[in-house]
Amino acid sequence: MTTHRLEGQHIGGRGRLADYANLVKLPHTVFAMPFAMVGATLASYRYRVQALDVLLILVAFTAARFAAMGFNRIVDRGIDARNPRTQMREIPAGKLTVGEATASVIIASLVFFVCAGLLNRLCLYLAPLALGWILFYSYTKRFTRYAHLVLGFALAIAPVGAYLAIAGEWSRPAGALLVLAGAVLCWVAGFDILYSLQDIDFDRGEGLHSIPAALGIRGALAFSRVLHALSAAQFIALGALLPELGPAYFVGAAIVAGMLVYEQSLVKADDLSKIDAAFFTLNGIISVVFFLIVLGERLFA
């Protein structure tokens, strides 16, 4: 009898709620949502924050992420069905139909637009661009090895969008938001390269593009490490750009840098057994701890 191994971070149980949660890998929300809250926290130094704003940011982020992940599962359903690692995902496994997934993506997209409109006019104007970019990501591995960077840019929208939701205008200095977005972009792209090492043989066989498929395991590890070094440097630079950030922020940036070094140490060219820990556990801790430090300094410093 053939047995199928479920992917990591799978929510157990039966029923539609579990199916939809697994369709979009709900636990992976822990990666970018804390950084969205970092953006809102940084904006709060100069702009008033209301509880409704925070609620709308959280709902908008969750809806956009649901739409993006659901769309990705629809677009990739054929590929997922052929990949032993992903063939038990909800659509290829028959737990959800394409129609059901499509309906959920449409509803999530509408919720995102409504929240953006309720936040401010700038967010509403930028919402189509943001959603368009994160949906576009689903096609990129068909034609570019740099799909990881496109994904990183997609998640980097979260802290920028949350800042704009509170401020209604770009940061001062202008480079602050760019550096924050760059830090998140490099962090996400770096760990996504590590995660995609699992599919290097499959991607090559299917003609799909990725850094591991193009550069091999050692080349991909080197690329990922450069990205994580750039990410750590940009987190530190953000503290230098914003005078309101004090010593606690730099402690948080140092913790992020140290955990990125540890994350990279877990994955070796001849040992990929700890990819799941490097991908989910450490990156989830990085995002949550960094947010708590930024929030703690804002509230108590």
pLDDT in tens, 167-208: 999 999 999 999 999 999 999 999 999 999 999 999 999 999
Residue 2's closest CA among 84, 97, 94, 95?
Answer: 84
d(CA 179, CA 184): 9
Q: Residues 221-238: what's their mean pLDDT?
A: 98
Residue 30 has pLDDT above 90, yes or no: no
What is the per-residue pLDDT for 9? 57
Query: What is the Rg, in whole angstroms, of the alpha carbon atoms belonging to the chain?
Result: 19
Q: pLDDT category, 5, cuts 50, 70, 90?
A: low
Residue 90's closest CA among 3, 30, 24, 9?
Answer: 24
What is the per-residue pLDDT for 301? 73
d(CA 110, CA 91): 22
Main-chain dihedrals φ then ψ at residue 136, nearest 5 degrees: -60, -35
DSSP string of the chain, one letter each residue: ----PPPSSPPPS-SHHHHHHHHTTGGGHHHHHHHHHHHHHHHTTTS---HHHHHHHHHHHHHHHHHHHHHHHHHTHHHHHH-TTTTTSTTTTTSS-HHHHHHHHHHHHHHHHHHHHHH-HHHHHHHHHHHHHHHHHHHHTTT-TTHHHHHHHHHHHHHHHHHHHHHSS--SSTHHHHHHHHHHHHHHHHHHHHHHGGGHHHHHHHT---HHHHHHHHHHHHHHHHHHHHHHHHHHHHHHH-TT--HHHHHHHHHHHHHHHHHHHH-BTTB-TTHHIIIIIHHHHHHHHHHHHHHHHHHH-
Opening angle at CA 293, ends 291 and 294, nearest 5: 65
d(CA 297, CA 285): 18
Residue 13 has pLDDT above 80, yes or no: no
pLDDT in tens, 148-174: 999 999 999 999 999 999 999 999 999
What is the per-residue pLDDT for 267? 93
The CA distances from residue 226 to 217, 219, 233, 287, 289, in Å, are 14, 11, 11, 19, 22
The size of the chain, in residues, is 301
pLDDT in tens, 100-149: 999 999 999 999 999 999 999 999 999 999 999 999 999 999 999 999 99
What phi-psi label fits residue 15: left (phi over 0), alpha (psi between -120 and 50 degrees) or beta?
left
Q: Angle of helix 175-196 relative to helix 282-300, nearest 10 degrees?
A: 160
In the chain, % of residues over pLDDT 70 = 95
What is the per-residue pLDDT for 1? 37
The CA distances from residue 270 to 217, 220, 228, 262, 279, in Å, are 9, 13, 20, 17, 17
Pick the residue with more confidence: 26 or 61?
A: 61
Amino acid at 301: A
Structure tokens at 190: 């770096």
What is the per-residue pLDDT for 3? 43
Structure tokens at 156: 């980097």
What mean pLDDT is reported for the chain?
93
What is the per-residue pLDDT for 245? 95
d(CA 255, CA 289): 8
Note the pTM of the prediction, 2 decimals.
0.94
